[in-house]
Amino acid sequence: MRNDKYHIEALERGLRVLEVFSNESPTRSMTEIAEAVGLSKSTAFRFTHTLEQLGYLERDPDTKRYRPGLKVLRLGFTAVNSLELGKIAQPYLKAMSNRCGRSTNMTVRDEDEIVYVARNKTQQILAVDLHLGSRLPVYCTSMGKAQLVDLSPQELRDLLGNGPYPQRGPNTLTTLNALLEELEQVRSQGYAINDEELESGLRSVAAPIRDHAGQIVAAINISVPTVRVSWRELEEELVPMVLETSQQISSALGARVYR
């Protein structure tokens, strides 16, 4: 590395200063930083001062000790969000599936479709078997609606048009106006319900997943056959589970969750 003409030694030293902080040593004095990185105190001070000015380090005015700043935390959350969301969510989805005994799923939105990235299947409830990578329309799925709530009416019109949209189930919302009205309710209650909009005999409840910036990056749901789960059971038992799990996953991605 030392013979690499593109290697910037000053940058390496600055990053090594950040690496001295850990769960075991969340704060460090100037002397501790200098010793850990192998720098003189004057050189270490220049690096820590620069990192502090940039927001990567914070200095406690009373103890004079340094700790990572908000920018370091944001970098960490960005790294977490760059991982496959399905892998992060899988333990939470499995736990929810174990609690309710139903199929649980996670999707991300790709324009006007949702894409399955995690799934715990407990029973076959659709005519077409779903798997990782399966795609469905956003307008007639609970997870699709959960991921549309932050879009403006114009953004939704640009994405889907005014309709009519293809009829998929007996209760499919086939116009933009009907979808806008539905999304207003989803926005106010924090979750979306699909009542035979995708397919006859299928209900589901979904909630959005947000990242550290508050952006919707995915959605999760519980899917149930209408013959086995009543509307009352859906609202009283499954909705709280989905909301709780969505908060847990969002929190794991760095979102600020209010309970």
What confidence tens digit (pLDDT) does each residue in 116-150 have? 888 887 765 555 567 777 889 999 999 999 999 99
Q: Which regions of the chain carry the CATH code 3.30.450.40?
A: 81-252
Query: Rounded CA gap, 155 and 162, in Å?
Result: 11
Query: Rounded CA gap, 25 and 2, in Å?
Result: 29
Q: How many CA atoms within 13 Å lie on the side-chain side of 191?
A: 22
Which architecture, in CATH terms, is 81-252?
Answer: 2-Layer Sandwich (3.30)
Q: Which regions of the chain carry the CATH code 1.10.10.10?
A: 9-68
- Predicted local distance difference test score (pLDDT) of residue 50: 93
pTM metric for this prediction = 0.67
- Which residues in the chain come in under a pLDDT of 50? 80, 82
CATH level 3 topology of 9-68: Arc Repressor Mutant, subunit A (1.10.10)
Q: Provide DSSP, the chain.
A: -TT-TT--HHHHHHHHHHHT--SS-S-B-HHHHHHHHT--HHHHHHHHHHHHHHTSEEE-TTT--EEE-HHHHHHHHHHHHHS-HHHHHHHHHHHHHHHH-SEEEEEEEETTEEEEEEEE-SS--SSSPP-TT-EEESTTSHHHHHTTTTS-HHHHHHHH-S-PPPP-STT---SHHHHHHHHHHHHHHS-EEEESSSSTTEEEEEEEEE-TTS-EEEEEEEEEETTTS-HHHIIIIIHHHHHHHHHHHHHHTT-----
- Predicted local distance difference test score (pLDDT) of residue 118: 87
- Predicted local distance difference test score (pLDDT) of residue 82: 46
- Predicted local distance difference test score (pLDDT) of residue 157: 95
- Predicted local distance difference test score (pLDDT) of residue 92: 92
- Predicted local distance difference test score (pLDDT) of residue 258: 59
